[in-house]
Amino acid sequence: MGPAPIALRMTQATARGTQLTAAQRRFRELLGKVGSGEHTSSGLTLAEAEEAMDAMLLGEASDAQLGAFLIAHRIRRPEPQELAGMLASYRRHGPGLTTPGRRALCFGVPYDGRSRTAPLLPLVTLGLLAAGDCVVLSGGEPMPVKYGITLAELWRALGLPLDRCDLAAMQALLTAEGLALCHQPRHFPAAQRLLPVRDAIGKRPPVASLELLWTPHRGEHLLVSGFVHPPTEARAWAALDLAGENDVITVKGLEGSTDLPLARAAIVGRRRRGQTERLILHPRDHGLPTLDAPWEGLDAWTVAALAALGGDGPLAPALRWNLGVQLWLCGQAEDAAAGLRRADALIAGGELLQRLGRLRRACDG
């Protein structure tokens, strides 16, 4: 009698080992597409990438499959349609926040935090709020592989424990005060379940790139996303085009964030309806120093941050630069110089500190 058919032999082998569910067998097929060699890997279609991300968020794939998928995808690098498919899954399974009748500014920042330079986004956010904008942020607790300082920790240091709000309270704060922080452990537990595997593989997987492109905001918004390497930016543009995001700013920021540097030219891309404009902004042209403030711990940052909100201290020039440029990019000033003048007026008038006090009262209430 000849050898058993391949399908039968596979069934017999599976019976002797770990039983796979139907969902896990399907995920194995998707894994095979991203885990093949350089010449045989075909990548996933947008629909297949969405299906794979669904399986990961819903817990249908095993931990072994999760680790294999994430590391294989990192080595091969995700294609734009794969990122777009994963983004579609995040949009369906993640939380939703709205600002009816108002455009929001949504910032994509690394979930694994900062470790070398002093972050500015909470301070810039206060300035944007004082100027009348809505701001939607997202983040988690310290994440692999950097375990740097996070947005939630910075807001807590300023007296705003935003990560303690449930989603309904966060929506209420957004409606009343124009600010929201979607905190992954509390508001997006499906994504949080990937954390142990991300830690175990010891490398940043494509999900980390996805987090720079995702926002919980639903409705009209301007997405501001940080990047480090130019190929990452080009891939992000292509993925966001496929995902229907037609108003995007990309920033070659400090440690991959959206914070504009002082020590070098700021490289910014503005993409609207498929058209891209490249901006190279030199801080020295506006009389600014050329030194980025280092990260020296949360206590030192808190002191410097509060001083900067009033126009003083080592973070004040960087806050002025970042707020001025963002006011220009989001349409509140005709150019960078006008944005800087607007930033100066907001800071000198005490409006950033007033906004912080107002938010504290709202959170206490």
Euclidean distance between CA atoms 67 and 200, whole angstroms? 8
Write down the pLDDT at residue 71: 94
Domain boundaries, the chain: 20-76, 104-364
CA-to-CA dists, residue 17 to 10, 100, 155, angstroms: 11, 54, 49
CA-to-CA dists, residue 308 to 124, 126, 271, 304, angstroms: 10, 11, 31, 6
Residues 6+ apart with CB under 8 A from 10: none
Euclidean distance between CA atoms 201 and 210, whole angstroms? 17
Write down the pLDDT at residue 9: 58
Write down the pLDDT at residue 94: 97
Pick from 170, 173, 205, 206: nearest CA to 187: 170
CA-to-CA dists, residue 60 to 54, 87, 178, 243, 319, angstroms: 8, 18, 37, 24, 44
Pick from 138, 139, 133: nearest CA to 104: 133
Intervals of the chain under pLDDT 50: 1, 17
Write down the pLDDT at residue 137: 97
pLDDT digits (tens, 9 = 90+) for 39-62: 566 689 999 999 999 999 999 999
Write down the pLDDT at residue 169: 97
Q: Which amino acid is at 162?
A: L
Write down the pLDDT at residue 1: 47
The correct CATH number of 104-364 out of 3.30.460.80, 3.40.1030.10, 3.40.50.720, 3.40.50.1220 is 3.40.1030.10
